[in-house]
Structure 1
Amino acid sequence: MPKQRISSVDIKFLVRELQQSCIGFRLANLYDVTGKVYMLKFAKPDHKEFVIVESGVRIHTTAYMRAKPTLPSAFTLKLRKHLRTWRCEKVEQLGVDRIIDFTFGREEACYHLIFEFYAKGNIILTDHEYTIVALLRTHKQDAESLFAVKERYPVEKAVQHTPMTEEALLALLSSPGSEGNSIKQVLSSKTEYGPAQVEHCLLTAEIKPNTKLKSGFSTANPEAVQRLLQALQAVDDLIAHPEAAPAAGYIYKVPSPSGAEGEFLYEHFSAFPLRQYATERFQSEELPSFNQSVDQYFSKFEDQKAEGEVESKQQEKLSKVEKVKLDHENRIRELQQAQENSVRKAELIICNAEDVDAAIAVIRSALAQSIDWTELKRVVKEQCRMGNPIAMIIHDFHFEENKITLLLGDTTDDAAEEDLTAPMLPVRVDISLSAYANARTYFDQKKKAVAKEEKTSAATAKAVKSAQKRADKDLKNEIPSGPTIKVLRKPYWFEKFNWFITSENLLVISGRDAQQNEILVKRYLRQGDVYVHADLHGASSCIIKNPLGKPVPPVSLSQAGSMCVARSAAWDSKIITSAWWVYHNQVSKTAPTGEYLPTGSFMIRGKKNFLPPNPLVMGLAIIWKVADECIPNHVHERRPREDDDGTGPWGQPEPQVPELEVPDEDLGGDANEDTEEDGPADGGGAGLLRDPSPLCSDATLSTNPSTASTDTSGPEESPGPSWDPLEAGGADEDPLEAGG
């Protein structure tokens, strides 16, 4: 059976790695994935860590993003209120219990977030004195331990690990009640090692785990007991000094029963190799850390569970559609059967018209003489015993409906053999009508059944289509459109800015506000890069990254200029104007004597190179990352245009970008000196793609600035989104923030 939860030994190794991943980090946020699964986001500048916790089951860092409810639970809000932005100072296991204590803050100004992984599990928030502030579930462990708000958490009751000694092992093997039980069962129930570690130690000691303990086992097997003691003490050393063990994790898996190549079922995970899984039946996978192995193990199960739930919901909805379809098919089948019965009965009445009329006449005559119904039935039975052929075809009476039931069969000379041997068919006839009139009644019933069948057949297609549409709508509302578990992608450093990739594969970035403009120029403007700007209110600083130092092609300059103009007040005003560009060494933060440059403003020295005016066109595109093995197929895409002679762009040589010599007389603030005050520019990270490229798909262009979704108002209308300068090395976007 696959492993379902972490053990005490697992927690020892998980705590070692959690200490490295969480201590010194601040708890940026906390999310509830389900009622028992929570995700903690730890962050510090340029780095984030996500820890997934399932109460009573597991805890580990994760590389996967989970879908979560739109609104957080009350318990989550309580934890956020007390712990958000607090620094994690300590992560420890309480004794050898399956309990982990996260400490946020120091001394009296601290909180303890305690996770329990035994029984049903629990998540408990306490203050510095371990007085419970909030908890996931209230329960009573024993007569003295009540887990509730304002009660004290009994941290001192944590079980401490006792290293195994020879005396203790001999006492366990000869303890009362152990005789007759397997040695694995005895050690697993009376030690803290767990079944997997006990079995590993037994196999290391060359003892079969299912060996039954008998009186005198230790005396009869002294060498085996010594080997077992050494194996248990080796595990003790790992528990006492987990940092000495290699940082690795192991997953053991078996081939899938389906037999599909490359499909496996996970069976177990461990922080060190286990002897019981070193067989041909199991395949082992080693990962760089134990956290990664636990994350991959449980995420696989979580993904399979989500797929199973989706499949069950789909089957449930499809079964409803099939039920509607089957119901209509049954109705049509019943109507067709009714038509056949009506025709058969009408034909039998016609074949036996004389007998039918005679039976009707006898019953009419008896009723006309006011004979009692009971007496009439008795007379008919008497005549049947006497062999009266008319009385013998009378089967039953329905005087309340003015009808009788006759037993009729096909007795004509041209009847088929199966009709002659078939049993008599009961046919109900109206005694107020003649035989042919009753036959006409059955033919009329057949016509009505045919009409109903046509209507039902016409309604079947509509009913099935309506049921299918309703099922599709329910599936769309109940089943997530994408996968519930997705790999967390590490954002690129430039994704915090507005950015796009030009048709010639050059990265263009611009600031979202004045603060980003300041950091953009100070941190990311390098030698060979080009600075693009426009003399418009709200225009942000744009940088064309040029790591090769070759001349930037005019197409890329034009696209960067279009982005700069479009993300300014020109978008709302519908004004077509020109942007300009300069080299990196023409941009300075040094102001002339007596002047001051505010945040986001820079001094431009030398000549500005103005670009041709471009229409206000912005594009949105989807950019995807290709697999490593597919990169050679895209090497020559999005290259700068070159002439046939093999020279650089536009047939010009490809020198390095020259350092401009600025004359001394130009440093005093003459006509060639300008100060650019870059106002904040709003909007998301949509890029400007005047020339759609093979790396982009589904591009949607808007030629009407008034209908575009990007707002590029000035600082008075919108100050732009906030941005943390401490995280300049990586993107500040959090994929989990959208749901609260």
Structure 2
Amino acid sequence: MKTKFATFDLCAVLHDLNNLRGMRLSNVYDINSKTYLLKLQRPNEKAFILFESGIRIHVTKCEWPKAVIPSGFSMKFRKHIRSKRLTNVSQVGIDRIVDLKFGEEERSCHVIVELYDRGNVVLTDHEYTILNILRPRTDHDTDVRFSVRERYPLEQARQSSQFKPTNENILQFLNAAKKGDSLKKSLVCNVPFGALLLDHVFIKIGVPLAAQIGTDIPVNDEGVKIVAKILEEAEKVADDIISTSHGGFIAYEEKESQEGTPIQLFKEYFPYDFIQFRNKSLNNLHILETKTFSEAIDKYYWTNEARKSKQQDGGVEKEANRKLNNIKRDHQKRIQSLNEIKEIQKKRGEFIIYNKDLVEQALLIVRTALDNLKKVNKSLAASNRGPKLVPKTGVGLWLEELANMGEQPAARLICKLKLETNRFTMRLTNPYDESDKELNVELDLSLNAEQNARRLFEEKRAAEQKKEKTEAATNKALKSAVKSAKIKADIKSTQLGKQILFMPEKTNWFEKFLWFVSSDGFLILAGRDAQQNELLVKRYMRPGDIYVHAEIQGGSSVIIRNRENNSSEEWTPPHKTLNEAGTFAVCFSSAWEANVSVTAWWVRHDQVSRTAPAGEYLVAGSFMIRGKRNSLPSCPLQLGFGLMFKLDDESLEARKIKEKKTLDKNTQNDDESAICLEDELIEGSSDSDTVEGAEDFPDVKVRVTGSTSTQNDKVIESSISYGNEKDNEDENKASDEEALGEMNENDLIDSLTGHLSNEDEPVFAVPVCAPYTAMNKFKLKVKITPGSCKRGKAVKMALELFAQNKSLTLAERTLLKAQTGDDRLIQLVPGKVRVSAPSFNVKQVAKLII
């Protein structure tokens, strides 16, 4: 598996990097200590350059998780090259070193990325004096220091090949090699061509890949011709790669996962259609082609890193489950042990009662033996000779003799003495049930048989109470352990999660406008400024769509997209959707800054016209509204800011199936209710038919009718702007709706959700600002009302509040982190706001941001 760039990879990726010349650097992010992300912008376009020290550099479109707090290295970049234009991208000599130049003349700076050995990232001024360096070091071969204030030695890079492909040099090269040496390995060490390029040339001219010098390649003029031909062909391919972009290629192997689904294992990426990968006799690889080489590199590393992260995440989850299972097992053992104690103590107490006479006899025997022992020792102590006292073990010997005599049955049942604790053990059986096993029962000499039985029953009750407490504590402990394990797993995954990635976010055509999805699933669009209002009505309003506007000048034009493409005049959107669209129109108007709630109205698509009355002129973003306007209720100035998640195809299909089953079930219940109702009506009906039922149960159709304006024809001017972006689009190019291609707009809207279930797999997150009533089902949301807080700070507060949500899954947390530093979020929110959210400490978060 390929892990880092080859020389011709760098030559090829320069085509993609040079396409970004002229773009201005807007920010620098660090993904980890070796990987950095440069964000570049120009009007209507943005791009990202990702470089990893010693590994790769390319244009990326993937959502890479950025560090919340930038490192000192990133801050140094921001200080020196932020807001400067990328003026040149070049390779230093023929080495794997890239020089990115930002700015002009004396104000310029250079970002030098080394992709060989351990790699390095160096920031220099216009004279190549080092301002910052990722890995200070000293080259011991040349005694050159790479550190701050030193000059970066460009001359140290390889400027040309050390191997001159003349016939004399080739013959000298062959003579210097040992017989049996691999021709390819020998050439790789002496020419600026990688192994992949040489393999391609070998196959093309018919030289065996394992050709050996002195065996397959003779050390004479014939061998010189073969090597010269190889070098000539390799030079042509190398020049072709340097001069022309051929796109990107990924070689992959198809395998089955543990679940049985086919997966692609990426093995190699390369910038040229090398024929060895097309040859099925040499390998069993497939080829995936991309438009640009950067796209191939991006997809290769993203896929491999995502697979690695998934495996690591699975390992973390497995470890957490193992710990939970251990806790459960320990608690089960404890409960089982208490159950056993409870049962055994109960049986022992019962056995004492069943064998009361034997127990009393045994107690008497042992007590008598102890009394006799005391008397003997007392008499011995009183004698003048002072013999040794008889130890307590003598009681055991005496009991053995007594048992052997057979005169005392109870003596034979005594099996163990514990005289130091004033106890002994006795074997007892159940005389009423022979199936019960014999038990050893410990008896206290200070108690009689009944008292010993009572003691055991009390121990049984104590064990039962302890068991109940343990079970209650177990449930609590397991919940705590599950929560703790989840937190630890999330922490570990977050530590690994610098590599947790998601598919690159595809910007949808409607995201250039203000937009949201209503509670009823309708796409609602609004213009950011007068130009967008004009574009929205002229290009995107279709027959059947609804036009909404606030009852105030200086507002956005709002369009409700008709899901059914029904242009009938009888069709009307649901009342809730109309109210939400009205709120959207009012909030993105001058009413927001004035903090005045006004009403809104709606009309059909054919009532909106760009044709001005005779003698009048309509400026951009102004329209003529002809006919009746339908008024809406007063709209509150309440917006919400939150995140929607794009589901993958499998999750979307599963949701549709689930919703269909629910709908079928509800329909069946409605049918059954209707049948029951019909039966009741039949039973209670008179001889004459009646049509009163049609009036009692009419078809419900939502129609919003309001007072009409005294002036039927009205000019609507929409000039307020909440965004800094301008849509200078060429009207001659194809409509963005055609770019939807194979994907249906309704499916696209349905794949966006504000709340993920356990079975859902998100692809990426989409920020959205909508009426707060349309965000009831959102998991991550805050309420926005008119206030004094700037929208940039408000968005940061919202993201911080979202991050405080303890119920976030790893996928949600990672997608949330990917929103950090995205300037699009600020453009969604109106100016001067107040952020509020239930169960969150907004003031504390505001202090942290300040």
TM-score between the two structures when normalised by the length of structure 1 = 0.70
How far the C-alpha of 1:331 sits from its partner, in A, is 0.6
Structure 2 equivalent of residue 486 of structure 1: 503
User: Does structure 2 conserve the Cα–Cα contact (< 8 Å) formed by 1:57 and 1:121?
Assistant: yes
The residue type paired with residue 335 of structure 2 is I
How far the C-alpha of 1:59 sits from its partner, in A, is 1.8
Change in CA separation of 1:519 and 1:498 when aligned onto 2, cut-off 3 Å: closer
Change in CA separation of 1:395 and 1:109 when aligned onto 2, cut-off 3 Å: same
Q: For 2:635 and 2:92, locate their aligned partners in 1 and report how far apart those are by CA, in whole Å.
A: 62
Structure 1 equivalent of residue 475 of structure 2: 461
Q: Which moved more, 1:261-270 or 1:672-681?
A: 672-681
Q: For 1:579 and 1:235, locate their aligned partners in 2 and report how far apart those are by CA, in whole Å.
A: 69
Structure 2 equivalent of residue 583 of structure 1: 609
1:115-194 correspondence to structure 2 within 5 Å: 115-142=113-140, 144-162=143-161, 165=165, 175=176, 185-188=185-188, 192-194=192-194
Change in CA separation of 1:348 and 1:106 when aligned onto 2, cut-off 3 Å: same
How far the C-alpha of 1:613 sits from its partner, in A, is 2.9
The residue type paired with residue 45 of structure 1 is P
Q: For 1:124 and 1:370, locate their aligned partners in 2 and report how far apart those are by CA, in whole Å.
A: 96
Q: For 2:825 and 2:372, locate their aligned partners in 1 and report how far apart those are by CA, in whole Å.
A: 87
The residue type paired with residue 680 of structure 1 is I
**1:91 corresponds to which of 89, 92, 98:** 89
How far the C-alpha of 1:589 sits from its partner, in A, is 13
How far the C-alpha of 1:195 sits from its partner, in A, is 4.5
How far the C-alpha of 1:329 sits from its partner, in A, is 0.5
Q: Which moved more, 1:275-284 or 1:536-545?
A: 536-545
Q: For 1:441 and 1:37, locate their aligned partners in 2 and report how far apart those are by CA, in whole Å.
A: 72
Q: For 2:149 and 2:524, locate their aligned partners in 1 and report how far apart those are by CA, in whole Å.
A: 56
Change in CA separation of 1:340 and 1:216 when aligned onto 2, cut-off 3 Å: same
Change in CA separation of 1:347 and 1:551 when aligned onto 2, cut-off 3 Å: closer
Change in CA separation of 1:359 and 1:528 when aligned onto 2, cut-off 3 Å: closer
How far the C-alpha of 1:446 sits from its partner, in A, is 3.1
The residue type paired with residue 463 of structure 1 is A
The residue type paired with residue 238 of structure 2 is I
Q: How many residues are treated as equivalent by the alignment? A: 653
Q: For 1:551 and 1:345, locate their aligned partners in 2 and report how far apart those are by CA, in whole Å.
A: 87
How far the C-alpha of 1:539 sits from its partner, in A, is 3.2
Q: Over residues 204-247 of structure 1, what are the superposed CA-to-partner deviations in whole Å (9 max), with x where a residue is unaligned?
A: 6766666777x777537976775455334433333344244561
Q: For 1:190 and 1:573, locate their aligned partners in 2 and report how far apart those are by CA, in whole Å.
A: 77
How far the C-alpha of 1:488 sits from its partner, in A, is 2.7
User: Does structure 2 conserve the Cα–Cα contact (< 8 Å) formed by 1:499 and 1:507?
Assistant: yes
1:487-566 correspondence to structure 2 within 5 Å: 487-492=504-509, 495-498=511-514, 511-512=527-528, 516-517=529-530, 536=552, 538-540=554-556
User: Does structure 1 conserve the Cα–Cα contact (< 8 Å) formed by 2:346 and 2:460?
Assistant: yes
Structure 2 equivalent of residue 65 of structure 1: 63
For structure 2, which runs of at least 5 residues remain unmatched after alignment?
Answer: 382-387, 406-410, 657-710, 726-745, 755-769, 775-781, 793-818, 827-850
Change in CA separation of 1:267 and 1:254 when aligned onto 2, cut-off 3 Å: same
Alignment partner of 1:22: what SS? coil
Structure 1 equivalent of residue 111 of structure 2: 113
Q: For 1:625 and 1:335, locate their aligned partners in 2 and report how far apart those are by CA, in whole Å.
A: 50
Structure 1 equivalent of residue 706 of structure 2: none
Alignment partner of 1:615: what SS? coil
Q: For 2:630 and 2:507, locate their aligned partners in 1 and report how far apart those are by CA, in whole Å.
A: 38
Residue 737, structure 1, aligned to residue 823, structure 2: yes
**1:101 corresponds to which of 88, 91, 99:** 99
Q: For 2:523 and 2:615, locate their aligned partners in 1 and report how far apart those are by CA, in whole Å.
A: 23
How far the C-alpha of 1:282 sits from its partner, in A, is 1.7
1:71-470 correspondence to structure 2 within 5 Å: 71-142=69-140, 144-162=143-161, 165=165, 175=176, 185-188=185-188, 192-200=192-200, 218-219=217-218, 226-227=225-226, 229-244=228-243, 247-258=246-257, 260-274=260-274, 276-277=276-277, 278-279=279-280, 281-339=284-342, 341-342=344-345, 353=359, 354=361, 358-359=365-366, 361-367=368-374, 369-370=376-377, 376=391, 379=394, 389=404, 398=418, 400-403=420-423, 406=425, 408=427, 429-433=443-447, 438=452, 440-470=454-484
User: Does structure 1 conserve the Cα–Cα contact (< 8 Å) formed by 2:534 and 2:620?
Assistant: no
Q: For 1:625 and 1:457, locate their aligned partners in 2 and report how far apart those are by CA, in whole Å.
A: 41
RMSD (Å) for aligned C-alpha atoms? 5.6
Q: For 1:625 and 1:588, locate their aligned partners in 2 and report how far apart those are by CA, in whole Å.
A: 51
**1:24 corresponds to which of 22, 47, 56:** 22
TM-score between the two structures when normalised by the length of structure 2 = 0.62
Change in CA separation of 1:158 and 1:568 when aligned onto 2, cut-off 3 Å: closer
How far the C-alpha of 1:576 sits from its partner, in A, is 3.7
- Percent sequence identity is 26
Structure 2 equivalent of residue 666 of structure 1: none
How far the C-alpha of 1:616 sits from its partner, in A, is 3.4
The residue type paired with residue 461 of structure 2 is K
Q: For 2:348 and 2:128, locate their aligned partners in 1 and report how far apart those are by CA, in whole Å.
A: 88
Q: Over residues 690-730 of structure 1, what are the superposed CA-to-partner deviations in whole Å (9 max), with x where a residue is unaligned?
A: xxx998668986689xxx956689xxx99999xxxxxxxxx
How far the C-alpha of 1:470 sits from its partner, in A, is 4.5
Q: For 1:71 and 1:238, locate their aligned partners in 2 and report how far apart those are by CA, in whole Å.
A: 45
How far the C-alpha of 1:14 sits from its partner, in A, is 1.4
Alignment partner of 1:68: what SS? coil
For structure 1, which runs of at least 5 residues remain unmatched after alignment?
Answer: 592-596, 634-670, 686-692, 722-732
Please state which structure has a larger fraction of its residues in helix.
2
Alignment partner of 1:10: what SS? helix
User: Does structure 2 conserve the Cα–Cα contact (< 8 Å) formed by 1:617 and 1:703?
Assistant: no
The residue type paired with residue 72 of structure 2 is A
